[in-house]
Structure 1
Amino acid sequence: MTTPCSTTTTRTRTTARFLLLGDSHAGCVGRAAQAADLPFVGGPVGSGRDFLGPFFDTGGTGGTEGTRGTGGTGGTESTGNGEITFRSPEAQRLYREFLDALEVAALAGLPVPLVCTFGLSAHTVATRQNWDVHRDTHGTLPEEFLRSGLFAGLVRATVRGALAFYDHTAALGLRVLAPLPPQRVPGMSDAQVFFAAQEVIRAELAARGVEIVDLRARVTDASGLQRPAFSQTDDTIHGNLAFGRLVVAELLDRGL
C-alpha cells in the first residue's frame, strides 16, 4: 500500500492545531484539514504495514524500543530524553521536518495533540492467507476463535510495533487521537478477521489512553462496510475527502 498524497505541513508552531502522523489513511485527513484551512503539521510517513512490527527506537543513541505485555502494563524504559528514531530513513526525515516546523526538538516537547493512524491498517492484519491455518473444514474461521485469547494475542503480536509507540506516547503524557480506518476490506483480506482484529486494536489503544475517533455509525451500511460516498473510488482501501472532512469535524468537536 503506497502513500497516496504528498506530505502536508503548516509551518507555524503558534497556529498549528495538531501533529498528524500515520500511514496512507492519514492522507484524506490532511487533505480535508487543508481544504478547511485548518493549520496543522504532518502527514503520512509510510504505508500501513510499515507501522505494525517494530519500526522505531528510543533514546538518543542506541536506545531500545519500549514494549509492553498483552495487558499494556510494564515495559522497557526509554533512555536519554526518550526521543524516537524511525528505522525507515524516509520516515525519520519527514518526522524531523515536522518537529522542526513545530520548533521542538523531541516528541516529549510536542505543544499540540497528536493525531495518529499507526497500527490501524486492519486490512493488512486481516490478510487472508495468514489465517488459513485456523480455518475449519468449511474454510471459515469459527466465531469462538475470533473471540478467543489466542486470536487477540496474535493480533497484538502483529501490531506490537504500533502498541509500543502508543506505550511511548502514553509515558510522555501526550494527548493522542486515533481515527479508525475506513471500513473497507479488499479481496486480499478476510472480513471476519478485519472486524475482529479492529476491535482488539481499538481496545488496546484505548487502554493506553488514546482517544478513538470512531465514525463507523456515520459512514457504514448495514453490512458494516464503508459506503461509497465516503470511499476513494480509485482503490479498495482508502477513504475519500468526504470521510476526511468527517474526521476533521470530529477533531474540531474535541477541541483541536
Structure 2
Amino acid sequence: MRTPSLTTTAPARFLLLGDSHAGPIGQAARAAGLPFLGGPIGAGREFTDRFFTVRDTPTAANDIVFHSAEAEDHYRRFLKELEVGGLAEVGIPLVATFGFCAHFVALRENWDLYRDSSGAVPPAFLASPLFGAVVRAAVRDALAFYRYGVGLGLRVLAVMPPQRVPGQSDHAVFMAAQEHIRLAVEDLGVEVVDLRPRTTGPDGLQRPALCEADDEIHGNLAFGRIVLAELLDRGL
C-alpha cells in the first residue's frame, strides 16, 4: 500500500479514499502538482463488508467511522487538513476505489461449486440474477459507503481497477463480477470512471505499459496519469 498524501498549501481539488489502487492516482496528482488530499488507507479486501459505521450524534453528525484503526487515523488527518468535522462538510469531490477489488471476489475456490464438466463457470450463471446477488452481497458495505456519500450531497466518483487478473482468480468471474459492481455503483448515482477502452488490449486486459512491474494486480504511474486526466476532464 502506498502512503496517503497531504495537499500543498493550495486548496485541495478532491479527496481520495481507497485501497492500493488509489496509489497511482495520488502519485500522478503529486507529479502534476495538483493539490489533493488522501490516498490508499488499506487493502482492497478491507473495504467490501463491515468496514465502517455511520456516526450521527448531536456532536458528530453526518460522518463515518472506519473500523480499521489505520484507515480511521488517515481519514481523521484528512478531515483535519480540510478543517472540517465530518464527511458531510468535505465540500470537494470524493474519489474512491472501494469495492472494485474483483480479484478477491473471483478467487477460484469460491466458485468451484458452479463449474461445469469443462471446469469453467458457465456464462449463463455469470449473467444470472443469482450471481449478481452474490457479488453485490460480497461488496455490500462498499455500496453502502457510496450510497451514504451520495446521500450527503457529495459528488462521488468511483475509479474502476486496472484490468489485471492474478493467477488465483478466475478470469471470467473477475470480468463478470466487476461489471455487476459497476452497474450497482452507477445505480447509486456515483460517477464511475471506466477507462477500459483506453487502457486494455484486444484481450480486455491491461496493456503491459500501464502495469506495475513485478506485480500481478496494480497499475503504474502511467495508468494513474490516465485516471488523473479523466478526472480533470470531468472538472476536478
Q: 1:11 to 1:99 in 2, by over 3 A?
A: farther
Query: Given the alignment, which residue of 199, 203, 208 partners 1:219?
Result: 199
- Structure 2 residue ranges without an equivalent (≥5): none
Listed as ranges, the matches of 1:156-195 within 5 Å are: 156-195=136-175
Query: Given the alignment, which residue of 46, 49, 53 partners 1:50?
Result: 46
The corresponding residue for 2:231 is 251
Task: Find the aligned partners of 2:177 and 2:137 in 1 and give their Cα distance.
Answer: 11
State the SS of the aligned residue for 1:233.
coil
Task: Find the aligned partners of 1:80 and 1:89 in 2 and give their Cα distance.
Answer: 18
Cα pair 2:143 2:184 within 8 Å, conserved: yes
The corresponding residue for 1:97 is 77
Task: Find the aligned partners of 2:151 and 2:228 in 1 and give their Cα distance.
Answer: 26
Cα pair 2:5 2:26 within 8 Å, conserved: yes
The corresponding residue for 1:149 is 129
1:30-80 C-alpha deviation (Å, 9 max, x unpaired): 00000000000001000000001110001246xxxxxxxxxxxxxxxxx96
State the SS of the aligned residue for 1:141.
coil
1:179-213 C-alpha deviation (Å, 9 max, x unpaired): 11000000010010111001100001101111111
Task: Find the aligned partners of 1:97 and 1:165 in 2 and give their Cα distance.
Answer: 19
Q: Give the % identical residues.
A: 59
The corresponding residue for 1:23 is 19
Listed as ranges, the matches of 1:96-135 within 5 Å are: 96-135=76-115
Task: Find the aligned partners of 1:177 and 1:167 in 2 and give their Cα distance.
Answer: 12
- Structure 1 residue ranges without an equivalent (≥5): 62-78
Cα pair 1:11 1:101 within 8 Å, conserved: no
TM-score (norm 1): 0.89
The corresponding residue for 1:10 is 7
State the SS of the aligned residue for 1:205.
helix
The corresponding residue for 1:86 is 66
Structure 1 runs of 4+ with >6 Å offset: none
TM-score (norm 2): 0.97
